[in-house]
Chains A and B, each alone.
Chain A
Amino acid sequence: MATATVVAGRPVRRRRAVRTGGLTRGSALGLGVALTWFSLLVLIPLSAVVVKAAGGGWQTFADTFANDQTMAALRLTVSTSVVITAVNMVMGTAIAWVLVRDHFWGKRVLDVIIDIPFALPTIVAGLVLLSLYGADGPLGVDVANTRKAVLLAIAFVTLPFVVRTVQPVLEELEHDVEEASASLGASRLTTFRRVILPTLVPAIFAGASLSFARGISEYGSLVLLSGNLPGKTEVTSVRVLSYLEGGNPASAAAVATIMLVVALLAIVTLDVVQRRVSRRG
């Protein structure tokens, strides 16, 4: 029996105790249907991946780690995602800053441009980048089938995450605090470092973990751009697919499980770092 608990972080709008003691018959039915669908669609299939990977015992994982091609793909994917996430933390915050604090003609257009990577089909994103940075692009640089292409593609698809998490926080930020800090003699840099940045840190890290998770799982935009050269530009998603197409679902599941674990580890690590940093601020 649920009681009137106040969940932390929720805007306290309700003045009375929570109306429902438990579930009405209608909402219990709804919950049942929703949970069944969610299990059939998400939970059971994802556990099937883990079960399949664990089915072969440690041997499957050992074989996967012993495979040079897979390890090269893992290293490339993780290192690229780390670099791009770091870039996004800086550039994303800068972009959010410009969108909120700066005013110039055409700013509205920038706001729409930020969302393009979210909305664009990933395969089209690859084609888009290829048209400028590919063989017959107007710049004359050809990054297709190189590691630069992987960097570029991941930078493109993960761009909006940090911007869109930092932007609302920056909009809500009270100017009084900054003015107080300035009137107490803090320089602009000190105000930024000691007052503004600590407020933004949780949002920056939240965006960073989304961006990292997206980065290591990227597939569509790389298909046309990176050429999937084994040991050179091949990423982990491609390894999963080629294992599956090669009739080896157990190895595919093992690589997929490693990807899930890396994503979870990254999310937890960034959360821990974020707590540390904001406590010190």
Chain B
Amino acid sequence: MVETPTAVRWLLRVVVVGYLFMLIAWPTSLVVQRTFEHGLEGLRVALSDPDVTHALWLTAQVSVIAVIINLVFGVGVSLLLVRSRFVGRRLLSALIDLPLAVSPVVVGLALVLVYNGRFGWFGPFLEQHGIQVVFAMPGMVMATCFVALPLVVREVVPVLEEIGDDQEQAARCLGANSMQTFWRITLPGIKWAVVYGVVLSLARSLGEFGAVKVVAGNVTGETQLATLVVQQKYQNFEQETAYSVSFILAAAAVLCIVIVSLLRPKENR
């Protein structure tokens, strides 16, 4: 290897570590510090607030439902994109990434324009049939699904392309039906990609703020999600509670990325 001069290497190292420390590591550690300023008292107070526990429980429910939907959709679409040929395949593959370029607030706006009960395209019809989307559970799930949509597909598609379909064809030749081929051959091959995709989607879903703020209506104790509680508590000067809820969300997020980084080398081996 062509060696980088020592001076340049040290300069880069110091600049990079300094930048990351000032921008990410130090501020993040301060939130942990603020949360435990008075020991576990802050967390205890936060968790005894019914609004907080309700919001955390709601966030967990919405995230799990959204992740399951995205998991099924993501694996299905990946299989279709890689293993089938149909008109518009390239277009679909490009459109799947669209949610990454859309502002969360615009996601919320888009869903409200279509599904709200007063002037939405489908909203009044759905409401007549007893289904409320905006300001209710379905809207929150849809907003969360929207923002996390491409994550599973982006992880699974490259792996599917790389493993090829030789083994699947062999299984077919030996008389396996398509369900058997999927469960016994395809799924084990893409297992880790699916796991990454799910972990990333979960982290994204737990933390969604802008889109659910528009869609959920933010009614305390009813449609208020954990990220919205953080904003409300902070602005009401209940900073310790805000830090505690932040800590819980951040801990869940960091746990997710640590799991991913522990899994990643395993796949390379």
Q: Which residues of A contact B (CB under 8 A)?
A: 2, 5, 10-11, 13-14, 16, 18-20, 22-24, 26-27, 30-31, 33-35, 37-38, 41-46, 48-49, 52, 91, 94-95, 97-98, 101-102, 104, 108, 110-124, 127-129, 131-133, 137-138, 152, 155-156, 159, 175, 178-179, 181-182, 188, 191, 210, 213-214, 216-220, 223-224, 236-238, 240-241, 244, 249, 252-253, 256, 259-260, 263-264, 267
Can you list the 3 inter-chain pairs with the closest CB atoms, starting with the nearest?
A: A121-B207, A217-B103, A2-B85
Note all chain A residues with C-beta closer than 8 A to B261.
Answer: 108, 111-112, 115
Among B28-36, B38-46, B48-56, the stretch in contact with A: B28-36
Q: What would 5 A/B residue contacts be, using CB atoms closer than 8 Å?
A: A48-B113, A119-B253, A217-B105, A244-B109, A244-B214
B140 to chain A, nearest CB (A): 13
Given A45-B113, A178-B1; A260-B102 close (CB under 8 Å): yes
Q: Does B131 contact A (CB under 8 A)?
A: no
Choose one: A111, A115, A240; the contact of B103 (CB below 8 Å). A240
Complex Cα distance, B168 from A23, in Å, reads: 16
Given A49-B113, A124-B250, A178-B2; A95-B86 close (CB under 8 Å): no
Complex Cα distance, B162 from A10, in Å, reads: 9
Q: Is the CB of A49 within 8 A of B101?
A: no
Choose one: B162, B169, B242, B258; the contact of A127 (CB below 8 Å). B242
Complex Cα distance, B257 from A137, in Å, reads: 27
Q: Does B111 contact A (CB under 8 A)?
A: yes
Q: Is the CB of A41 within 8 A of B27?
A: no
Q: Is the CB of A131 within 8 A of B30?
A: yes
Given A113-B25, A115-B257, A121-B249; A98-B109 close (CB under 8 Å): no
Choose one: B31, B73, B95; the contact of A128 (CB below 8 Å). B31
Q: Is the CB of A41 within 8 A of B30?
A: no
Q: Is the CB of B9 within 8 A of A102?
A: yes
Q: Is the CB of B246 within 8 A of A241?
A: no
Choose one: B27, B84, B249; the contact of A131 (CB below 8 Å). B27
Complex Cα distance, B22 from A14, in Å, reads: 48
Q: Is the CB of B84 within 8 A of A253?
A: no
Identify whether the interface residues of A are mostly helix, strand, loop, or mixed.
helix
Q: Is the CB of B15 within 8 A of A94?
A: yes
Known: A14-B166, A42-B98, A104-B13. 17 other contacts (CB 8 A): A38-B92, A42-B99, A45-B107, A45-B113, A49-B113, A52-B113, A98-B13, A111-B261, A119-B204, A120-B28, A121-B230, A123-B246, A155-B23, A210-B100, A217-B104, A252-B109, A263-B102
B218 to chain A, nearest CB (A): 11
Taking CB as reference atom, which chain B residue is nearest A138?
B30
Choose one: A113, A181, A191, A263; the contact of B20 (CB below 8 Å). A113
Note all chain A residues with C-beta closer than 8 A to B113.
Answer: 45, 48-49, 52, 249, 253
Q: Is the CB of B210 within 8 A of A219?
A: yes
Choose one: A38, A95, A237, A264; the contact of B210 (CB below 8 Å). A237
